[in-house]
Each structure stands twice: as structure tokens, then as C-alpha cells.
Structure 1
Amino acid sequence: MRKLLFTFVVIFASQVSFAQDFKTDTKKYMDMSGQLAIFEKLTSQLEENIPSDKRADFRKDLNASLNVLKDKMADLYMSEFTHQDVKDLIQFYETPLGKKLSTKSTILMEKGEKVGQEWAMGLQGIMMKYMQ
């Protein structure tokens, strides 16, 4: 009975360790890919709306919220990619091209947002044409 219990404990501990490694790698990928930088940029814009005397407390609450978001995003990636996929993505982001893509992520987001807004404005005209 003790051997069975010991075996179960060892298997369970290794599974927990594997899941932690997977999640750690997934968060590393998210950081390397520039996704976390986008969240940081968006949240810094939010902070500008908070009175200066309350910003420190706001930042604490915001950071706690971001940690929850990072965990949920990591879980999302873990449901769609294998651990090996994530390791391969990390390997890509360690290359010069991967690093360049990462540094361009916030710029691409900003420019993409503008392109999307322009597209939406044009779409309104098309919709009005067919709604009359």
C-alpha cells in the first residue's frame, strides 16, 4: 500500500512540476513576443486618467489584475499549444527576426488600431448604402 501511495505522490508531483514549467515557459513566450509590453502600454494610458495622489495605489491594484490576466492568457495558450510548441516559439523569439518582431509589437498594435479605425469608418458608409 505504501508503494502505491508513494508512486501516486511521485507521479502527481512530477505532473505539477511539468505544468509549472509549461506555464512558466508560456509566460516567457508571452513576454518575449511583446504581448506583455502591449498590456503595459495600455495600462499606462489608463493610469494617466487617475489623480496623481492615487496612482501608486491604483498601480498596485492594476499589477494584481495584470497578474491574473497573465495567468489566464497563459492558460489560454496552454489549451491551444503543446509545451513543445511554446518552446519552439521561445526559440524563434531568441533569433534576430524574433527579437525584431517583439520590439515592433507595440508599434504594429498602434498602427493596426489606426488602420482598423479607418476601415470601420469606411464600413459605415458601405452599411448606410444598404440600410436605406
Structure 2
Amino acid sequence: MRYLVFVLTLFLTVTACFAQRSYHEDAIRYFELNGTEQQYDTAIDQMFSLLQQQYSNQNVPDNVWDELQSNKTDAITNIKSLLVSVYRSNFTHEDIKQLIIFYESETGRQLVKDRTQLSDNQKNKLSDFFNSEVGQKVQNQSDSLRSMVSEVSELWSRDLYNETIQKLKTKGYKLP
């Protein structure tokens, strides 16, 4: 009987854990929806374009650039994890869930795609969102959040740049 109770309790606990996504998972989903992930993806591409220009006289082969860029997914995962900490200090798990709901909506998707193309109905829904409790929180914390995100982003990009230059150095390529 004890064994049956133990197994049943374990099963229910594991099921409950899998049914509820963690703060981290939800924040990562939010970053995918609101364009944050794409923004960092583009930033990495721009960094590599800059590096390729800087190293143009070094004749770095394409396979070396491909190898260096193969770490892009890890770099994006890293910045998203850093951003989770920033958001955790500003938003509750319920706030993040509400942000996900908004950005999964037609209005949220259009906002990310092209804000200037919002229909009148979408503009009303956007206004409703910003008048909601979470929308107000987003607006009230935007300056401090922007500052914190900027600081984390700057450190992340500087580390990524320096790490990439170091890898190029170990392969025998140096800045002119």
C-alpha cells in the first residue's frame, strides 16, 4: 500500500511539474515572440560582417567564419538567459504569461512585424493592453528595464566580440 501511495504521489508531482512551464521557459518564449531573439540574431550577423571587414586583408577562409558562426545559437541562448534575470527582477511569472498572451495575439504579432501597419482595431487592442495592469507595469518600468537590458547587452556583445577575436588569434589571424 505504501508503495502505491509513493508511486501515485511521485506520478502526480512529476505530472504537475511538467504541466506548468517555468519562469525561465516562459521568459524565453516571450523573447521569441516579442522580437528580442531576432534582434540579437541580427546583432550577431552585424558583428560578423564587421569582423569580416576588419579581417579582410587576412584572407580568412569561409570555413573559419562558418565555424565561428556555428556558436551563434549558444550566444543567443546565453543572452536570453541573462535577460531572464533582468526580467525576473521586474516582472512576475504571471506578468510574463500575460505578455506571452498579448504577443501571441494578432495585434502582438503585427506590432513586432510592423507597428506602422496596425489596423484601427489593433491600435485599440494595443491601447487596451497598455491600459492593463501588465501594460502599465511595462510602461512604468520601461526606463529602468531598458537601462538594465542595455547594460547586460553591452557586456554580452563585448564578451562575444572579444571571444571571437581571441578564436581568430588562436587560428593565426590578427587585426591590422
TM above 0.5, yes or no, is yes
Of structures 1 and 2, the one scoring higher in RCO (CA 8 A, sep 6+) is: 1
| Deviation, structure 1 residue 104 | 3.3
Query: Partner of 1:120 in structure 2?
Result: none
Distance 1:18 1:39 in 2: 30
Structure 2 gaps, min length 5: 1-9, 53-59, 116-176
Distance 2:88 2:67 in 1: 32
Identity %: 17
Query: Partner of 1:81 in structure 2?
Result: 92
Structure 1 gaps, min length 5: 1-8, 106-132
- 1:70-109 aligned at under 5 Å gives the runs 70-79=80-89, 80-82=91-93, 84-104=94-114
Relative to total residues, which structure has the larger helix share, 1 or 2?
1
Distance 1:71 1:20 in 2: 15
Query: Partner of 2:47 in structure 1?
Result: 46
Deviation by residue 1:71-104 (Cα, 9 ceiling, x = unmatched)? 111222122333x111111110122210011123
Query: Partner of 1:27 in structure 2?
Result: 28
Determine if contact 2:37/2:76 at 8 Å carries over to the other structure: no
Equivalenced residues, count = 105
**TM-score, reference length from structure 2:** 0.46
Distance change >3 Å, CA 62–CA 53, structure 1 → 2: same
| Deviation, structure 1 residue 44 | 1.0
